C-alpha cells in the first residue's frame, strides 16, 4: 500500500485520504502532460511509457489502490517496470482473490475492471466514475 494513504481514525468509520501532492498538477479539460512521477504499482501504463496523458490516470491509481484494499495485493505485479507493463498488457481479467470475491459487491468488481483497463479510451470518464453505483449509498 502506498505510504501516502492516510486514515482519519483507527475505527471502521475512517475516511481514506491521499496526501503528498508535491508533484501534482491541475490539468484543464483537454489538456495533457507527460511528466513521469509516482509509484509504478499504481501508475497508469501511459505514464510508465512516457506518453501524454490527462487526469484520467488518477482514476487508474484510485482503482489500483481500491483493488489492493479489497484483495490485499496489487492488481499487477512485476520484478521490473518492463515486467509490470507486460503484466498489465497481458491481463484479460483482474486477479481478484478467490477468498474475497464472493464477498465483494458486484459494483466494486465492475469499477475496478472498468478503470484498470490498459486502453485509456476504454476507461470510465470522471463523469462515469462519479455516477458509478459503487460510489452511491
67 close to 76: Cβ distance less than 8 angstroms? no
8 vs 16: CA distance, rounded Å = 7
119 vs 108: CA distance, rounded Å = 20
* Average of per-residue pLDDT across 91-105: 96
Residue-wise pLDDT for 30-87, tens only, equals 776 777 777 889 999 999 999 998 889 999 999 999 999 999 999 999 999 999 999 9
Query: What is the CATH T-level fold of the domain 37-135, as seen in this structure?
Result: Transferase(Phosphotransferase); domain 1 (1.10.510)
The reported pLDDT for the residue numbered 8 is: 81
Give the start-to-end residue ranges of the domains of the chain: 37-135
Amino acid at each position: 500500500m502506498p505510504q501516502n494513504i492516510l486514515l482519519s481514525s483507527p475505527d471502521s468509520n475512517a475516511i481514506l485520504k491521499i496526501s503528498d501532492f508535491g508533484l501534482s498538477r491541475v490539468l484543464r479539460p483537454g489538456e495533457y502532460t507527460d511528466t513521469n512521477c509516482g509509484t509504478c504499482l499504481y501508475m497508469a501504463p501511459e505514464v510508465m511509457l512516457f506518453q501524454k496523458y490527462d487526469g484520467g490516470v488518477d482514476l487508474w491509481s484510485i482503482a489500483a489502490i481500491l483493488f489492493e484494499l479489497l484483495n490485499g495485493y496489487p492488481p499487477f505485479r512485476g520484478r521490473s517496470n518492463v515486467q509490470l507493463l507486460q503484466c498489465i498488457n497481458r491481463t484479460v481479467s483482474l486477479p481478484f482473490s478467490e477468498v474475497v470475491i464472493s464477498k465483494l459487491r458486484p459494483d466494486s468488481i465492475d469499477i475496478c475492471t472498468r478503470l484498470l483497463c490498459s486502453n485509456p479510451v476504454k476507461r470510465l470518464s470522471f463523469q462515469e466514475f462519479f455516477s458509478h453505483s459503487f460510489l452511491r449509498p
